[in-house]
Amino acid sequence: MSFIITPLRYVIDFIYGFTGNYAVAIILFTLVVKLILMPLDLKQRTAMRKMTDLNPKLEEINRKYEKDPEKKNMKTMELYKKEKVNPLSGCLPVLIQFPILIAMFSVMRHIADEQYVSMFLTVYQNGVDAFQPESFLWIRNIWQPDNITASVIPLFQSVSAIREIAGNPIVTAENIALMQANYETVMQPVIDKFNTGVANGWAILPILAGASQFFQSKYLTPAPAQTSQSGKPNTSKMMQYIFPLMSVFFCWSYNAGFALYWVTSNLYAIAQYYIFNLVFDYKEKRKALKTQTEGEAKK
């Protein structure tokens, strides 16, 4: 996975060099990645739209050949071939974006660990007043979770699990050992200063993550049937609720930097969906109008 993590980290740090703010850098990075993947996304949306348009014909085939599965499959494939639709063509963007999501999880963890060690070294060498957590809007420290129970400055339990990152000049074995041996003593004045009973965040990102994920699962993908052929609940239908709950859990538990990436990615996908539909509908109307005009001209 390092072959993905390393370039992603490089790009984020490059953008951070211009913005001076990791939250802004994460948002811009997300948009850059989405723009690069746009051709694949549009291909996926086109395939999904064509599949949705074919639903009435597919349902007719299912009804007509309900008792003949072999014939039903043959007619279904004939329909796909006739309409030039590949039901698997929309899978490639998902297969590409999933590793990026997993890699971003690791990238945000690496940056958070680096920020924790840097925080300790700054206070250890220069005193309490030399450190200021990196805030963003309502979030007081983006390397802590955006929720009402998270503290602004991590406690010792949070940093005790940090491990050396190969090639990182800050997250070294020596610095980690120094931090873990002196964290509670050195950081106590910082904890007293910033952990003043005010939560690190208001849980806005976890809520947005869950809501946007539910919207995508319910409206941006073809609607699944209520039950499967065996009468058991349809797995796709269950995923409409499981994925949003997972989004809330991860964005509640993990640092706000990763939650910001997740939410930005979801909101971009929703905006792209509406823009794509507007353009697709416009093209379809023009095509229908052209066909109608040519038909009238022949009469």
Rounded CA-CA distance 256/146 in Å is: 5
- Tens-of-pLDDT digits for all 299 residues of the chain? 667 788 888 899 999 999 999 999 999 999 998 888 877 777 777 777 777 777 777 788 777 777 777 777 887 777 777 777 766 655 656 666 778 888 888 888 899 999 999 999 999 999 888 889 999 999 999 999 999 999 999 988 888 888 888 888 999 999 999 999 999 899 999 999 998 878 899 999 999 999 998 888 777 665 444 444 444 455 566 777 788 899 999 999 999 999 999 999 999 988 888 887 787 766 666 766 666 666 666 65
Spell out the residues 6+ positions from residue 133 whose beta carbon is closer than 8 angstroms to its own: 119, 140, 141, 143, 152, 153, 194
At 230 the pLDDT is: 47
What are the angstrom distances between the C-alpha of 259 and each of 75, 146, 175, 254?
45, 8, 28, 7
At 66 the pLDDT is: 74
At 148 the pLDDT is: 92
Q: What is the CA radius of gyration of the chain?
A: 25
Closest CA to 137 of 24, 214, 247: 24
Rounded CA-CA distance 104/262 in Å is: 9
At 290 the pLDDT is: 63
At 229 the pLDDT is: 47
Closest CA to 107 of 277, 217, 254: 254
Rounded CA-CA distance 217/280 in Å is: 21
DSSP category for residue 175:
H
At 228 the pLDDT is: 43
Rounded CA-CA distance 212/267 in Å is: 7
Count of beta carbons in the 10 Å neighbourhood of residue 244: 20
At 224 the pLDDT is: 44
Bridge partners of 259, per DSSP, are none
CA trace torsion 98, 102, 108, 110 (10° rounding): -150
At 206 the pLDDT is: 95
**Cα-to-chain-centroid distance, residue 198:** 28
Helices 91-126 & 256-298, crossing angle to 10 degrees? 150
At 227 the pLDDT is: 40
At 234 the pLDDT is: 55
Rounded CA-CA distance 264/247 in Å is: 13
Write down the residue that tokens 């499981």 correspond to. Answer: 242
| DSSP reduced 3-state for 111 | helix
